[in-house]
Structure 1
Amino acid sequence: MSATGADAPAGSAVRTVLVTGAGRGIGEATARRFADAGYLVGAFDLQPCAWAAGDDRVVTGVLDVTDPAAWEAALEQLTARAGGALNVLVNNAGLLYGMPFVDASYEQDSALVDVNVKGVMYGCRAAFPYLEKASSPVVVNLCSASAIYGQAEMAVYSATKFAVRGITEALDLEWGPKGIRVCSVWPLYVGTGMLEGVNTAGMRNMGVRLTEGDVAGEVSDLAEQTRRPPSGLLGRIRGAVGRAVHRPVGAQATAIYLASQVGPGRIIRLANKRLTS
């Protein structure tokens, strides 16, 4: 692995964040945003992130999120510069294919499950001892509005995001008493390279209206919100709403998510069918 920048002084109060899939897209935008906010950023991907070369705010190296040993090495590399603590883990790395289920392959299914599900589980497991040592630690998992109801032409991707939803909710309950917040962001279609060659009915009907910066902003806000609890009655009310486990990104995802919280299942199914077919 490679790293940039010098070690932080012993006892430094530097805050740390590890972002997976940081080579481009949402991961790169998120890592850059945290660096600009003063964090020591671990930007990891299948190759060291070229954009981070020479940036003393960023530690970059190789991380295959499906490899537990690689997780251990990446966490040790980053936290060695910050007293062994990790303040924020952003499980962003992911894969997607969009096509009728029967047109894909066993290999594609396996790759999505390995990266999207195992990558999140392994990251949380490996990061736990480092999060325990940190002040106001938070895990932000990249979920999706496709975890609201199964998406036609994205069946396996949708299934993996339901799994991420379950992991997030379970660990929020388990780790909350330990002071570790676990939450997720739920965007709809985001204009990144992941959607290259994807042309589903859902995309055509709803459009691609989010940017990588939109999602990065929500991830950063969740971390800062955890770090600085709101004050005053109005602030506490807003904070209670904002501290929900799942945060939809954008007007479309927010509307669909809120409707799913109150609408009967058959209505949500019908609405989803109309939007994605």
Structure 2
Amino acid sequence: MTKSIFISGAAQGIGEAVARLFYQHGYKVGIYDINVKQAKALALQLGSNARGGTLDVTSYRQWEKALEDFANFAGEINILVNNAGILYSGYFENTDIQSHHRTININVNGVLNGCHAAFPYLKQASFARVINLSSASAIYGQADLVSYSASKFAVRGITEGLDIEWQKHGIRVLDVMPLFVQTAMVKDMDAGTIQNMGVQLTPQNVAFEILKCVQAKNNFLTPTHRPVGFKANAMFQLSKLSPQFINRVSNLFLSRRKN
């Protein structure tokens, strides 16, 4: 039976790259996004094994309807990619509180909704994985990206907890942790870190790492977290070895603005 993958926020950016890559590898692909017109256009462009639909990840009811729609199309749901997310940058106090709340609602509650609503399908599937989009911002709290960084720490925690809890069901829950990726989300971003670290990763880089997560063997040697790119991997490894004050000082240095 052809495996299937359901992707939230799949109409553009990383989600689109994941959809294209997995379609090329013979998967049935679910492209669900709040921008339903763009999602359906991408599905039509890919071909008969792709299906586009509407999904506001903050709505549990929309998750239920979207997953049911895709399950009817694909036969079963093997892989859930919780990709949808937003980012506000700049000084914490200069970002209105509604935007901070919206970040948490989409980036955290969207993942909780997706995992919870998809569980009955994943439990029944012959092969099941959840891949969450975390971030290198979940390694150490980031200045100018406070609510975004906090949301990705939450995603990291959800991933770690469910990866243990759902082992008994044969479901691995993993995440990828890229640094900054060349998408619309980082355009005109107001943060010292991006000025100092730059944006080298492409959506395709992240998509390939997600494919590796899916193809990895289902055992304890497969790490729960997968940093994407040399810089993110270096930060991840160093954070485990360095004293806390060194991590703080290094992140303070990286967050300094050039103007």
- The reply to whether TM is greater than 0.5 is yes
Paired letter, 1:154: L
Q: Name the CA distance, whole Å, in 2 between partners of 1:255 and 1:151.
A: 16
- Would you say the 8 A contact 2:136–2:178 is kept in 1? yes
The structural deviation recorded for 1:274 is 1.1
1:261 and 2:249 matched:
no
What residue in structure 1 maps to residue 142 of structure 2? 151
Consecutive unaligned residues of structure 1, counting only runs of 5 or more, are: 1-12, 230-235
Q: Secondary structure at the match of 2:216?
A: helix
Equivalents in 2 of 1:51, 1:197: separation in Å?
26
Counterpart Cα distance in 2 of 1:183 and 1:261: 19
**Who is 1:213 aligned against?**
204
1:136 shift after superposition? 2.5
Q: 2:54 aligns to what?
A: 62
Q: 1:248 aligns with which of 214, 218, 227?
A: 227
What residue in structure 2 maps to residue 88 of structure 1? 79
- Across the aligned residues of Structure 1 and Structure 2, the Cα RMSD in angstroms comes to 1.3
Q: Distance in 2 between matches of 1:93 and 1:81?
A: 22
Match of 1:6 in 2: none
Work out whether 1:25 is the aligned partner of 2:25: no
Structure 1 counterpart of 2:22, one-letter code:
F
Aligned match of 2:165: 174
The secondary structure found in structure 1 opposite 2:48 is coil
What whole-Å deviation, never above 9, does each CA across 1:113-133 have from its counterpart, x for those lacking one? 110000000000000010011
1:262 shift after superposition: 1.6
- Corresponding position: 1:77 with 2:69: yes
Q: Could you tell me how far apart the structure 1 residues matched to 2:73 and 2:204 are? A: 27
CA contact (8 A) 2:144 2:190 kept: no
Structure 1 residue 200: Cα displacement: 1.3
Q: TM-score, normalised by structure 1?
A: 0.88
Q: How does 1:157-168 map to 2 (within 5 A)?
A: 157-168=148-159
Alignment counterpart, residue 138 of structure 1, candidates 124, 129, 133:
129
* Preserved contact between residue 5 and residue 80 of structure 2 (Cα < 8 Å): yes
Amino acid at match of 2:168: P
Q: Secondary structure at the match of 1:80?
A: helix
